[in-house]
Amino acid sequence: MMRPILISDPTLRDGSHAIHHRLTVEQISAYTRMAEEASIPIVEVGHGNGLGASSLQLGESLVSDKQMLEVCREHLKRTKLGIHVIPGFATIKKDLNNAIDIGVDVIRVASHCTEADVTQRHIEHCRTREREVYGVLMMSHMAPASILIAEAKKMQSYGAQGIIIMDSAGAYLPEEVKEKMKALVSSLDIPVGFHAHNNLGMAIANSVAAIEEGATILDATMKGFGAGAGNAQLEVLIAVLQLTGYETGIDLYRLLDASDVAEQNFITVPTISSSSIVSGMAGVFSGFAKPVERIAKQYNLDPKDIYFELGKRKVVAGQEDLILEVAVSLSQLR
């Protein structure tokens, strides 16, 4: 018997990082129509950092959340419409309620892997408004399984109907994915999912490792379109799942056709650059790439040294000011 896996496709959300949130209405419409034809179960859309994140600091979306959701809602019938929500960027009163009013089906509420508390009100609100809601633990390589379990259980207690473990820095190798997934699956009462990045070339292998240990939800994007080295490549993942006896309901032929069209229209296929590799090894989020390169040049340092030092200091998104501090102290060491 084929084991069922739920696929959620954040091509129009994680991918928007790769093009500075410049997706056009035409590209969004075209992709949602193809996703519908290929029977992709969930399409997640929006600014790379989720609902309400469009800003000068994080990059402004070309198309507003409202317009993007309305366009997608119009095209998606069987495919569910999903959003990524980070409390702090997305308010309940305005952003979340607007999205629910437009008719979003699936809401992912995300926090850093040790800060599930901040998701409580958003998750509870989604349940009150009777929406499908998942908890997401980002940068999960920074916490051991025991902490991930404790944080995931909080989300479960708030009403989350599943927990997604994100490898935001692309830092995992399959063994660690297996260990953490096994622990989470046996400790939680709700489904567990995995969201891969490809910094160490392991996005597909890590995704397969996750489901081998009982995860039942996987994120993957067309052509791997996503932040930094990209995500698990959706078409490749579906091919591998088909070969290994998992069922996703996705039509592989239509999906492959869609991938050809998407590549012609808007996808810059991610490749694994030297800075992606180092950021994966160091466990640093790819959002640090540009400022690290810039500051390394300014201080005449090797960006690799900065990455590894940032990794030692366990930086997370929002701490970009530490790059300068690291650069200064590395310069003084010379």
68 within 8 A of 26, measured Cβ to Cβ: no
* Nearer CB in complex with a second copy: 116/204: 204
Instruction: Kindly state the smallest distance separating residue 71's Cβ from a second copy, in Å.
Output: 26
Scanning the chain, the segments in alpha helix (DSSP H) are 14-18, 25-37, 65-75, 97-102, 120-128, 145-158, 174-187, 203-212, 234-244, 252-265, 274-282, 289-298, 303-312, 321-333
* Nearer CB in complex with a second copy: 65/213: 213
Q: Is 122 annotated as a binding residue?
A: no
Bridge partners (DSSP) of residue 90 are 87
Instruction: Establish if 304 lies at the interface with a second copy (CB under 8 A).
Output: yes
DSSP letters along 249-287, please? ---HHHHHHHHHHHHHHT-------HHHHHHHHHT--GG
Choose, by CB under 8 A, the member of 203, 218, 295, 327 that binds a second copy.
203
Choose, by CB under 8 A, the member of 136, 200, 211, 301 that binds a second copy.
200
Choose, by CB under 8 A, the member of 69, 126, 183, 272 that binds a second copy.
272
Instruction: Establish if 80 lies at the interface with a second copy (CB under 8 A).
Output: no
As a whole number of angstroms, the distance between CA 287 and CA 144 comes to: 23
203 within 8 A of 231, measured Cβ to Cβ: yes
282 within 8 A of 311, measured Cβ to Cβ: yes
Instruction: Kindly state the smallest distance separating residue 180's Cβ from a second copy, in Å.
Output: 16
As a whole number of angstroms, the distance between CA 296 and CA 95 comes to: 37
Write each residue from 213 to 232 as x if it is in contact with a second copy (CB under 8 A), else as -, in one continuous string: ----------xx-------x
Binding region for a second copy (CB under 8 A) out of 40-48, 108-116, 252-260, 310-318: 252-260
* Nearer CB in complex with a second copy: 172/285: 172
Q: Is 195 annotated as a binding residue?
A: yes
Instruction: Establish if 278 lies at the interface with a second copy (CB under 8 A).
Output: yes
Instruction: Establish if 117 lies at the interface with a second copy (CB under 8 A).
Output: no
Instruction: Establish if 205 lies at the interface with a second copy (CB under 8 A).
Output: yes
Instruction: Kindly state the smallest distance separating residue 203's Cβ from a second copy, in Å.
Output: 7
Computed from CA positions of residues 13, 18, 24, 30, in that sequence, does the dihedral angle turn out positive or negative?
negative
Nearest to 163 by CA among 175, 176, 181, 178: 181
Binding region for a second copy (CB under 8 A) out of 70-78, 123-131, 145-153, 270-278: 270-278
Instruction: Establish if 19 lies at the interface with a second copy (CB under 8 A).
Output: no
Catalytically annotated residues: 17
**Taking each helix axis from N to C terminus, what angle separates 303-312 and 321-333, rounded to the nearest 10 degrees?**
110
Q: Is 276 annotated as a binding residue?
A: no
Amino acid 129 reads R
Instruction: Establish if 30 lies at the interface with a second copy (CB under 8 A).
Output: no
219 within 8 A of 232, measured Cβ to Cβ: yes
Sites for a second copy among residues 284-303 (CB under 8 A): 302
As a whole number of angstroms, the distance between CA 95 and CA 331 comes to: 44
Instruction: Kindly state the smallest distance separating residue 206's Cβ from a second copy, in Å.
Output: 9
* Nearer CB in complex with a second copy: 183/272: 272
Distance of CA 155 to the CA centre of its chain: 18
Bridge partners (DSSP) of residue 193 are 164, 217
Sites for a second copy among residues 174-193 (CB under 8 A): 174
Binding region for a second copy (CB under 8 A) out of 143-151, 158-166, 267-275, 310-318: 267-275
For residue 276, the tally of other CB atoms under 10 A from its CB is: 24
112 within 8 A of 316, measured Cβ to Cβ: yes
- Which stretches of the chain bind a second copy, using CB under 8 A? 173-174, 200-205, 208, 223-224, 232-233, 235-237, 239-240, 242-244, 253, 256-257, 259-260, 269, 271-274, 277-278, 280-281, 302, 304
Q: Which residues are annotated as a binding site for substrate?
A: 13-14, 168, 195
